[in-house]
Amino acid sequence: MSRFLSAEAQRLAPYQPGEQPGEGFIKLNTNENPFPPSPAVAAAVAGRIDRLRFYNDPDSTALRAALAAEYGLKPAQVLAANGSDEVLAFALRAFCGEGEHRALAFPDLTYGFYEVWAGLFGIEERRIPLKEDFTVDPDDYCGLGCTIVLANPNAPTGLMLPPAQIERILQANPDNVLILDEAYADFAPENCLELLRSYDNLVIVRTFSKSRSLAGARLGFALASEALIEDLARVKDSLNPYNVNSMTQAAGIASLGDEGYFRRCLAEVCATRGWAAGQLRRLGFTVTDSCTNFLFALHPALPGAEIAAQLRARRILVRRWDTPRIRDWVRISIGTRQEMETLIGALQEILAEAKEG
């Protein structure tokens, strides 16, 4: 820290990203997709290189049109950004602050970045504990009188609140925005897109990072009423208007155009998830009912830190947190079937050694 750092920046507590090691690891720690992006992406990006001398379209017009078509909305109901992290940052600046809408409510166990942005923008936090079983109690979010952000499905629990319950929260908060972080929704049996037709206080945030294998391209987007999207664009244009580079815009459009590939990859990840969850339970793990591309698991005999360390020694990375309530859990991204077989084999060994030791 330099002697010039502002008081505001001194107060920041930056996000700690998951480890990004070199080659030679089975990477099950940052919820990446085990499959490469659609083959259509390479050609689309290649076609943009010579025109990189021009600024990208700051409004991501063609990409937003493609997203609008995909979700049956108007392009003016879509905002694109440099990852869904950027969308969420815009949303918190737009819908939290001084006065009536100052505070931000979110669960005690959820995506770790919400509190970081609250710190960045000086937003008061209201952390609401998940129930004992890690589910959200919608009653906790009724009549709070502040902005709400919910990851649904939630991370790292993998659990999902059904759309009818989300609707109850929307109805109980007509004068406040609910930001619904649906980063993992493509892996879930349901989502809340339909609610956009009826509620003007809903912002849905999505990403190409998980289900579309484009984590490294950075592409997220918001879906909401035209008025809310205009608000988000106001923040974008006050921070970084040319936020989505033109290669990423092209990659996103190409990915959306290859529906078959998308569906096949999704089906495979979900099938592998079911297989891996069964195997983990067979090994004695408690595993939540994941609606995502990861599993959240606890073993009665071995703490999470031990499991993660032993796996790391075998070149397999998973994620865990030194956080109350989930200290002993591990979060395991869904890899290929083969990667998950290697994982299960490794866990079997680790548990056997622990029993002997």
Site for a copy of itself in 56-95 (CB under 8 A): 56-58, 82-83, 85-86, 89, 93-95
**26 neighbors 315 (Cβ within 8 angstroms):** yes
Least gap, CB of 147 to a copy of itself (angstroms): 8
**DSSP letter assigned to residue 128:** E
Q: Which residues contact 322 (CB under 8 A, 6 or more apart)?
A: 305
> Shortest approach of a copy of itself to residue 182 CB, angstroms?
19
We find the least distance from the C-beta atom of residue 62 to a copy of itself, in angstroms, to be 11
DSSP 8-state code for residue 295: E
| Among residues 60, 110, 154, 245, the one that binds a copy of itself under rule CB under 8 A | 245
Taking the CA atoms of 305, 307, 310 and 313 in sequence, report the sign of the dihedral they define: negative
Select from 316, 320, 275, 274 the least CA-distant residue to 296. Answer: 320
Helix 337-356, helix 304-313: angle, nearest 10: 120
Residue of the chain from 124, 230, 289, 349 that contacts a copy of itself (CB under 8 A)? 230
Nearer to a copy of itself, 91 or 161 (CB): 91
Identify which of residues 43 and 142 has a Cβ nearer to a copy of itself in the complex: 43
Site mask for a copy of itself (CB under 8 A), range 100-119, x = bound: -x--------------xx-x
Residues 22-51 that bind a copy of itself (CB under 8 A): 27, 30, 32-37, 41-42, 45-46, 48-51
Q: Smallest distance from the beta carbon of 92 to a copy of itself, in angstroms?
A: 9
Nearer to a copy of itself, 139 or 200 (CB): 200
Residue closer to a copy of itself by CB (options 167, 226) is 226
Which distant-in-sequence residues (6+ apart) come within 8 Å of 335 by Cβ?
26, 27, 28, 34, 272, 343
Instruction: Select 39 or 284, whichever has its Cβ closest to a copy of itself.
Output: 39
Return all residues near 13 (Cβ < 8 A) that are at least 6 apart.
115, 116, 119
| Torsion angles phi and psi, residue 200, rounded to 5 | -90, 5
Applying CB under 8 A, among 240, 268, 283, 306 the residue interacting with a copy of itself is: 240
* Positions 151 through 180 that interact with a copy of itself (CB under 8 A): 175-177
Which lies closer to a copy of itself via its Cβ, residue 200 or residue 353? 200
Q: Which listed residue (142, 227, 271, 301) binds a copy of itself by CB under 8 A?
A: 227
Give the C-alpha distances (Å, rounded to integers) separating 121 from 71, 90, 103, 293, 328.
31, 10, 11, 31, 32
Site residues for a copy of itself, 249-308, by CB under 8 A, read 251
Q: Which is nearer to a copy of itself, 49 or 271 (CB)?
A: 49
Nearest to 201 by CA among 163, 150, 139, 147: 147
* Contact flag: residue 239 with a copy of itself (CB under 8 A): yes
For a copy of itself, the closer CB: 230 or 289: 230
Pick from 250, 204, 210: which is nearest to 225 by CA? 204
Q: Which is nearer to a copy of itself, 56 or 288 (CB)?
A: 56
DSSP 139-162: GGGTT--SEEEEESS-TTT-----
Minimum Å distance from CB 345 to a copy of itself?
23
Cα separations in angstroms, 183 against 41, 109, 152: 21, 16, 8
CB of 7 to a copy of itself, least distance (A): 5
How many residues make contact with a copy of itself (CB under 8 A)? 89
